[in-house]
Amino acid sequence: MNTRTVLNKAQKLVIKVGSALLMNSDSHDIKKGWIEALAQDIAALSAQGREVIIVSSGGVAFGRKALGISWDTRPIDIRLEQKQAASAVGQPRIFAAYEQALEALGLTGAQVLLTMLETENRRMHLNARETLQTLLDHNVVPIINENDTISTEELRFGDNDRLAARVAQMVDADCVVLLSTADGLFDKDPNRHPDARLIPLVEQITEEHLSMAGEALPGLSTGGMKSKLQAALASTRAGIPLIIAHGEEIHALRTLFEDENKPSTLFAASENRISARKRWIEGHVNAKGSFFVDEGAMEALKKGKSLLPVGVKRMEGTFKRGDPIRIKTLQGYDIGIGLSAYASGDAAKIIGKHSADIADILGFTGRAVLVHRDDMVLGS
């Protein structure tokens, strides 16, 4: 297993772009040529039928000038209110650069700003996930950043490495690529030890790897190798491999796909995705109600189908959309758990009914399923 085999198999990719790749270190201008080349690489992937999501930093970096923040100040030392204000200045500029580059190639970009809330709260998580998937279904390239202008210290990721890992979990991506100013993970800090060696494959992240990672150096980077390893831990635990590679050169993404000599570190997924997802659903839940399903529905669920309203004969509980619900037989035997696509008020009206009638009953067109198979774990 190596970076190229993982990339070539990946249908849905999350690519994280660090601030340092986007800003010319002398003029502090946006590196338009770099973004144009990235847009071309994305266009090529999209022409192969792949889905690409960009998680891009740069909001704060491109707003620094207007706020008079010295270039010597490290990003982590900028005061919160200054960061929030700087991002309001810089974010529209950086998004505009992506949008122009994509549009020139006939692609459309969409700006999506997330806070930790959308990735932690189940209902918001489902909403954000559906929005992102809808964009991808329409061939739109989501350009994501943390909503730094409204994120407060308690609600911040702070670095986009971990945000990228969360987004990948949210959309069930096949792989995360962190384009950075480093070639990957080294056994020692390569800035201080010329004999440091790159580690091309990490099958399991250990304490030793964590101790190899340094903090961010002075400059535009926020996270350094530490946050990249945290992102790798989160991502691989969720069954999604993560790759770190150097991104400063033009067409870095294309080169990563094509050139087997380009250095990188691949963090292999620690287990298969199904069990990771199971853990995620199980780990987050405290059931808020029950759906009692008939035999036909039970058979369908066992075959891996979603739970349709028509198969549910009874329900209990008061819950919101996205809340975890126990799935039980009519005799009350527990067969699994899943996230409800409807709040209890609406669910009560549509159980036992055909999906085609949902719009008439509720007055709006919701999902055809009550619990989507991706949101369900049987036998838990």
CB of 110 to ligand GLU, least distance (A): 16
The per-residue DSSP string of 74-125 comes to -GGGS-HHHHHHHHHHHHHHHHHHHHHHHHTTT-EEEEEEE-HHHHHSHHHH
Query: Judged by CB, which is closer to ligand GLU: 159, or 346?
Result: 159
CB-count burial class (<10 Å; 0-12, 13-18, 19+) for 121: middle
144 vs 312, which CB is nearer to ligand GLU?
A: 144
Q: 344 vs 320, 328, 367, CA distance in Å?
A: 6, 16, 14
Distance CA(64)–CA(84), nearest Å, equals 10
Nearer residue to ligand GLU within complex by CB, 21 or 337: 21
Q: How far is the CB of 174 from ligand GLU (least distance, A)?
A: 22
Helix (H, G, I), strand (E, B) or coil at 68: coil
46/160 with CB nearer ligand GLU: 160
Which of 226, 353 has the CB closer to ligand GLU?
A: 226
Residue 134 Cβ vs ligand GLU, minimum distance, rounded to whole Å? 24
- Among residues 85 and 327, whose Cβ is nearest to ligand GLU? 85
Binding interface with ligand GLU (CB under 6 A): 18-19, 57-61, 87, 145-146, 148, 159-160, 222-223
CB of 63 to ligand GLU, least distance (A): 8
SS3 content of the chain, % helix, strand, coil (to 5): 45, 20, 35
Q: Go through the chain and tell me how many residues it has.
A: 380
With CA atoms as reference, report the closest residue to 300 among 220, 225, 369, 223: 369
Q: Tokens 């790897």 identify what position?
A: 209
- Taking the complex as a whole, the smallest distance from the CB of residue 30 to ligand GLU amounts, in Å, to 13
Tokens of 377: 């774990």
- Min dist CB 98 to ligand GLU, Å, is 13
Residue 18 C-beta: closest distance to ligand GLU, Å: 6
8 A C-beta contact, residue 292 and residue 309? no
CB of 59 or CB of 142, closer to ligand GLU:
59
Residue 223 Cβ vs ligand GLU, minimum distance, rounded to whole Å? 5
Question: 22: which 2 tokens?
Answer: 């986007």
Closer CB to ligand GLU, residue 69 or residue 341? 69
Q: Which two tokens stand for residue 174?
A: 């096949």
Q: How far is the CB of 162 from ligand GLU (least distance, A)?
A: 8
- How far is the C-alpha of 151 from the C-alpha of 148, rounded, in Å? 5
Task: Return d(Cα 112, Cα 132) in angstroms, integer.
Answer: 8
Reading the block at residue 191, the tokens are: 């800035």
Task: Tell me if 369 sits within 8 A of 306, measured CB to CB.
Answer: yes
14's enclosing H/E stretch is strand 12-17
Pick 9 or 32: Cβ nearer ligand GLU: 32
Element housing 139 (H / E):
none
